[in-house]
Amino acid sequence: MHSTLFGGQSLAEPITISTKFSTILPDEKGPQIQFGIPDFINNTFKIEPKIIGEGVDSIKYYLDGIGPQKYNESSFSGLSEKLTEGTHTIRLDVTDTVGHSSSKESVFTVDNTAPEIIFKSLTNGSTISNIATINLKINEQNLLNRGGITVILPHQKVFDKSSVQFDTRTLENGEYDIKVLVKDKAGNESVKTIVVTVDNNAISKMFSPEKKQSSNEIFYPLVEIIIGIAAATAIVIITFQKFKISKRS
């Protein structure tokens, strides 16, 4: 049994209540938008923007100024495959439940054309010797600044040069591949390979004993001819002088 307090005059008991209020701060930070789209893309690039923040209420987008359109995860699925080559703009507008809004725009260029590689000097099937020059013409407006051109030679790689000296003097005679790889800023690649034949026999023959012997064979008859011409000329001169002397007599 619970007895009454204060001499039975009151049924109420004294009670103390302690309260602690926490501070509630408003959400002052709006949603953040991350595109991650480089300046140049091709039709294999996936456009997947990220929205960072809580309480996102609505997302709308504009494509090349056309919109707004309601955005969802599948809105940009396969979009890069549908875009034509050239410059495009995507803008996202995001609003959260508190009322904050964020907007971000990305401008990029779609390039689906692979670079064109042309061998200006050395063609497929060429026979070369000593030091040969490889001259290239690359048709590409958006060539990668570093590593855009790679020339692959036997035992050597040359980067970012359209004119390359190919020294064959250390190679055995035979067929060799010359491969050129070109990349652009959008990720398009081209590869072209030619086959050349290295033949340094002509150079080695110039310094071989056989070559010297053949030179002597040519030299000696030539000396004999010159001596013969000189002798004939001397005879003509002597005969002419004798003729003049006899005429005076």
Between CA 51 and CA 30 the distance in angstroms is 10
Domain boundary residue, one of 187, 202, 217: 202
Does 128 share its domain with 191?
yes
Does 91 share its domain with 155?
no
- Provide the domain limits for residue 129: 116-202
Does 105 share its domain with 148?
no
Domain count, the chain: 2
SS3 content of the chain, % helix, strand, coil (to 5): 20, 40, 40
pLDDT at 216 over 90: no
pLDDT at 103 over 50: yes
Q: What are the two backbone dihedrals, phi and then psi, of residue 158, each rounded to the nearest 5 degrees?
A: -120, 130
pLDDT digits (tens, 9 = 90+) for 138-171: 999 999 999 999 999 999 999 999 999 999 999 9
| CATH number for position 83 | 2.60.40.10
Question: Is residue 244 assigned to a domain?
Answer: no
Does 122 share its domain with 197?
yes
pLDDT digits (tens, 9 = 90+) for 223-237: 677 777 777 776 767
Does 63 share its domain with 106?
yes
Does 146 share its domain with 99?
no
Q: What is the pTM of this model?
A: 0.66
**H helix count then E strand count, the chain:** 3, 15
